[in-house]
Structure 1
């Protein structure tokens, strides 16, 4: 493709990986990184990437950041429960005013009919994108391996991985897999469309716990409970109410199949199977 690609949230966990994936596909002078803080600029500038500044709620900064941009990757905001749709609207409006050719958005698996509470903001943002008149690529990312491996230390210490998903299956991929897929779409000749993205292999939490036990050499089992019980445990551990609700709700909806899907679309974009979830377990416990 020709023209510059702007990656929002470029210093975040996903955004930084998207930048790296883009740099493997296009010259550095085609990649522009949007960050909020000046201290986040140096690592990106060291890669030859132009850095522009602005937050999702800063309309003048967003307008300036969009100048000369052909395609935008809008990475969904991290402030769950704090008017994410309104923040996303600011980015969409700035992109439209600047005449960009495409907006890609990191949504959630089957956002239009997902029961997850997280899907509500994504549906709202997808509706805004649809009404914008812009060509759009919806990157409906499934669950991340890292969502499940981030707290394995505590799970091994307690001997239990807790959840409310019953025998529901997950089809996650690694953050790097989703980043690589986003880059592939952004440089595609025909990028617009809806991409349901998930990992190549599915499993339930009992299988996940068994793998954690095998790799760690410690007794670890899956402890299933109600959504209300799970949320209360998260609250008692000191998590904010919105985070406790999000985690418990997502686990409960996994029981209904909301986080299981085919990995075919992701595999097609990255040209390989997704990162094995077992590898992510090993990496987290290394």
Structure 2
């Protein structure tokens, strides 16, 4: 039996990855979940998952969490700006534990991406390469949920703001990415694989607004702003300055193709077409 540790197990992607592992027939007893707060993982424990408490900042807790683990589904941390050191701790602990395979959730074309968010992923990929650990890279494009989570605001104001111009984004649902991660971490001969992952049908933010209008019956338009004006609008809506700048920079990258993926890797890994935007919008509206 192969034991698999999933980091970030109470986050959106982590929970879906555990669901996907179970759907693939992995026994609950062979899945361990790394969490910061055990109280948030009661539902996982009730399903028979081995809940292990630890933190990316605490190497000793990582050593305990990785004890007896064969494979690590390393979901990147959420603390932008802190992740280089945090992720290095995870890599070092995986080396000490003798993990047989690490699958790391990175960002599309991390090695060449102009996105500011790619810097920490690039450093983590380098740390994995330097470690000698057998590893696979799951380079994800955007989540569709980056947009659908804002549906109430889009409908209220009748507008989608952005700075992406006519750039196309190969967004996919978190569930699609989670299925791909489960497929890789449970398969053989994955060491050295690099997957550029994104939805089958890329769309512009104008096309997103049109699809939302169609699904909701409420007119919604896309308003294209400069990067600076979009960042200012986000700050005005309550988004912290640093995160607002990162989102606006992301749109600028999107405008120039940084989030367009045409490999087909994601649909091949999950064995079906990726979830269409219309379906994701229907779910969000429901």
Q: TM-score, normalised by structure 2?
A: 0.97
Unaligned runs of 5+ in 1: none
Distance in 1 (CA, whole Å) between partners of 2:245 and 2:270 is 33
The 8 Å contact of residues 17 and 181 in structure 2, kept in 1 or not, is answered as yes
Question: What do the CA deviations read for 1:43-88 (whole angstroms, capped 9, x no partner)?
Answer: 111111111110110111101111110010111111112x211001
> In the alignment, which residue of structure 2 is the partner of 1:136?
135
**Deviations, residues 209-259 of structure 1 (Å, cap 9, x unaligned):** 111111121121100011000000011111111210111111111000111
Once the two structures are superposed, residues 135-186 of structure 1 have per-residue CA deviations (whole angstroms, 9 ceiling, x without a partner) of 0111001111101111111111111101111000011110000000000000
C-alpha contact 2:161 2:222 (8 A) present in aligned 1: yes
Asked whether the equivalents of residues 156 and 220 of structure 1 are also in contact (C-alpha less than 8 Å), the reply is yes
Partner of 1:188: 187
Distance, in Å, in 1 between the alignment partners of 2:132 and 2:259 is 30
Question: Given that residues 80 and 242 in structure 1 are in contact (C-alpha distance below 8 angstroms), is that contact kept between their aligned partners in structure 2?
Answer: no
Q: Alignment partner of 1:138: what SS?
A: strand
Cross-structure match for 1:65: 65
Query: Residue in 2 aligned with 1:173?
Result: 172
Which segments of structure 1 move beyond 3 Å, counting only runs of 4 or more?
none
Mapped partners of 2:279, 2:136: distance in 1: 29
The 1-side partners of 2:41 and 2:256 are apart by 42
What TM-score do you get using the length of structure 1 for normalisation? 0.97
Q: What does the per-residue CA deviation read over 1:114-143, in whole Å, with 9 as the maximum and x for residues that have no partner?
A: 111110110011110110000011100111
Unaligned runs of 5+ in 2: none
* Counterpart position of 2:277: 277
Specify the alignment match of 1:74 in structure 2.
74
Counterparts in 2 of 1:29-108, with a 5 A limit?
A: 29-81=29-81, 83-108=82-107
Q: CA RMSD in A?
A: 0.9
Aligned positions, number: 284
Question: Matched residues in 1 for 2:43 and 2:70: separation?
Answer: 23
